[in-house]
Structure 1
Amino acid sequence: MLQNILKAIRISVILWLITGVVYPLLIFGVGQLPALREKANGSIVYNLENKPYGSSLIGQVFTSERYFYTRPSAVRYSQGRQGRPTGVSGASNLATSNPDLLKRVVDTANQLRDENVSPIVGDFIYTSGSGLDPHISLRAAQAQIERVAKARGIRPEEVIPLINRSTDNRFLGIFGEPGVNVLRLNYTLDLNERVSNQRRNQ
């Protein structure tokens, strides 16, 4: 009996070492390889002061006229226009017949109309299933060019190349639709503005 108990303890310790120590360290080490390091560490984008700006994998809310808006979220994963951050993902689960859903859509559409966003495409008023979608469609990005260009005092034609640089193409060239990563686009706008200002001051 004692031998069986000791054998069970040895097996438990070995399994714990393999699954709780060796395997996690191995996966962590693989994740730090140059080709995988950025994604394994959360795809963090740093701002011009080298401080964390956000993750290019997670949508965050931008409220300034100088920035492109992302899709609305039914949850408050990060700071936004309403409520505190929750750190969770998910949808509202409201049925299409629910008056609360209709009110939210109408209120959002009216707000965008007041901000001269046109046309008002689905990306602006319908949330994604996860609430974390970092992308908007090309059409949604193009609808915001005039507003952002005016707020930054630049020509709309200057914004188009930045959108193209922040666009992710179809997965494997055939799945899904191209999407504009809003966080990367807004970071590129700030970077482009700083470079332009530096050239002006030289």
Structure 2
Amino acid sequence: MKNHIVSAFRLTLVMLVVTGIYLAIVYGGSKILPNKGNGEVIFDKGQKFYVNIGQEFKSEKYFHGRPSSVNYNAAGSGGSNKGPSNKEYLEIVQKRIDTLKMDNPEMDNTKVPVELVTASGSGLDPDISVEGALYQAKRIAKVRNLSEEQVRNLISTQTEKPLLGLFGPSKVNVLTLNIALDQLK
């Protein structure tokens, strides 16, 4: 019995050291990042926004991001846990497709970008694909009395390229895109 207790105590000490070293590496590594491991904050019109948390934009004069299964509540991130064969989930996605096509009638025959009708695993994804932004460009141009070229150029300037040109897709942060859109005139 004494042998087991001593072995368990040694294993506990070893695991404390290993996990402590791991935590120190992760924490130290985060401090060399541009934001020092904190969320990126933007202040616009006296309000504070976190760039890395999805925001809800309902107005037709703004780009819309991914739908959220948690109503954009950062305190309770999570997905719906419904798979692509779930009947209820398919109905929800079809309603989103219908709404998106109704909001963007000039894009009726264009393929709908998947991220505009499906929520991410966290429900808080702040980014959409370049295709998702371009899908909404005609609506934005029409509502804001801008040329479509101006809106496309804005999307291009707000596009984040893949890390080192290799890792991940090009993406557009919806919050920063909408703030830049407000500053266009």
- Cα deviation 1:11-55 (Å, max 9, x = unaligned): xxxxxxxx9xxx9xx97xx95x9x73x4644211111x2321x21
- 5 Å-filtered alignment, 1:45-194, equals 45-47=42-44, 49-52=45-48, 54-77=49-72, 85=73, 87-116=75-104, 118=107, 119=110, 120-193=112-185
**Deviation >6 Å, runs of 4+:** none
Alpha-carbon deviation of 1:95?
A: 2.1
| 1:42 and 2:34 are equivalent in the alignment | no
2:53–2:74 CA contact under 8 A, matched in 1 = no
The DSSP-based 3-state class of the residue aligned with 1:143 is helix
How many residue pairs were aligned?
A: 156
TM-score under structure 1 normalisation?
A: 0.69
1:68–1:144 CA contact under 8 A, matched in 2 = yes
2:6 maps to which residue?
Answer: none
Alpha-carbon deviation of 1:173?
A: 1.4
Structure 2 alignment gaps of length 5 or more: 1-19
Amino acid at match of 1:164: S
Tell me whether 138-147 or 155-164 shows the greater mean CA deviation: 155-164
The DSSP-based 3-state class of the residue aligned with 2:92 is helix
CA distance in 2, matches of 1:185, 1:97: 34
Query: Against the structure 1 CA distance between its residues 68 and 182, is the aligned structure 2 distance closer, same or farther, given a 3 Å change threshold?
Result: same
The DSSP-based 3-state class of the residue aligned with 1:128 is coil
The DSSP-based 3-state class of the residue aligned with 2:128 is strand
2:74–2:124 CA contact under 8 A, matched in 1 = no
Q: Percent identity?
A: 37
The DSSP-based 3-state class of the residue aligned with 1:87 is helix
Amino acid at match of 2:69: A
Q: Alignment RMSD, CA only? A: 2.3
Amino acid at match of 1:168: E
- Cα deviation 1:79-117 (Å, max 9, x = unaligned): xxxxxx462111111122211101100111111111125
1:76–1:88 CA contact under 8 A, matched in 2 = no
Alpha-carbon deviation of 1:148?
A: 0.5
Query: Against the structure 1 CA distance between its residues 57 and 86, is the aligned structure 2 distance closer, same or farther, given a 3 Å change threshold?
Result: closer
CA distance in 2, matches of 1:156, 1:86: 33
The DSSP-based 3-state class of the residue aligned with 2:123 is coil
